[in-house]
Structure 1
Amino acid sequence: MAQRLTDRQLECLRLSATMTDKDIGRHLGISHHTVSLHVREAMRRLQVPSRKAALRLIASDPLYGPDAIAPRAGPVPVQFAPGDPVDDMEAMIGASARTWPLPPPPRRSVRLGLILLFAAVAALITVGIVNVVFGAVGTLAAHAPPNAILTPD
């Protein structure tokens, strides 16, 4: 082995056997980008092209011991990294209760902006339709015979 891994690199690499970078980040309380950096640096130090090769190498190295790949024990406790948007339902029911990973809902400002944009487009379309109808009625009224339109005297 070229260089020794730091404890954090080793921990991230071991957890990557059974978890995604986002799950590892939540578990350790760090960003998933930081997890990715730790794993890439570990792969660079071990001089291997993939995570799988890195895990195989540390599993066979007596320096890291036979427990190089930690078994997954039950659901991962939900810990949100600083700055991550948190869905209220996910916090209430826990991340393990959902079966499909969903993207976080849009922020309120984005939702409000989309609603206002939709309302403005709908208003413009409505005004356009009203103008077309009034224009058509006015054109037809100009070409109508004089006794076709009854007006109160």
Structure 2
Amino acid sequence: MLKSIQEWVLLFIIVGFMVIIGNWLGYEVMPLDAVPGILVLIALSLVGLILHKAIGFKKLPSIAYVGIIALVITLPGVPGQEKIVEWTSHVNVLAIATPILAYAGISIGRSWTDFAKLGWKTIIIGMFVIIGTYLGSAIIAEIILRMQGII
């Protein structure tokens, strides 16, 4: 398990650095303002992964552990809750999603031959899923933004 933790820490440091840069370039949040929030998110993710591995209840995904821990430590009345919320508010969600999507793209690219073996129908279905997800998200965003009077 120690080897897994070392790999996770290294991965989180790399992704954290990319998030800080993306947050700075894309959302004009100064890196020093985002560092405490990134460290909190890294710690939450690491604790969630360790709990998932240690408890051994494999039916519950590791993201559930991370989410539950995050929920508990940000509940009103929990000591330090205000600081955690303040720190993490400086980290834009889209800055986090960019490295994750890049990693997913690299993973698919590495196994492109396996993906191609699935056939042309899978590629077409995948395109429809991506387009449908994008259009669905755009429509929902348009409706919500119009309801709020933002656009």
Q: Which entry has the higher C-alpha Rg, 1 or 2? A: 1
TM-score by length of 2: 0.25
- Larger RCO of the pair (alpha carbons < 8 Å, separation 6+): 2
TM-score by length of 1: 0.25
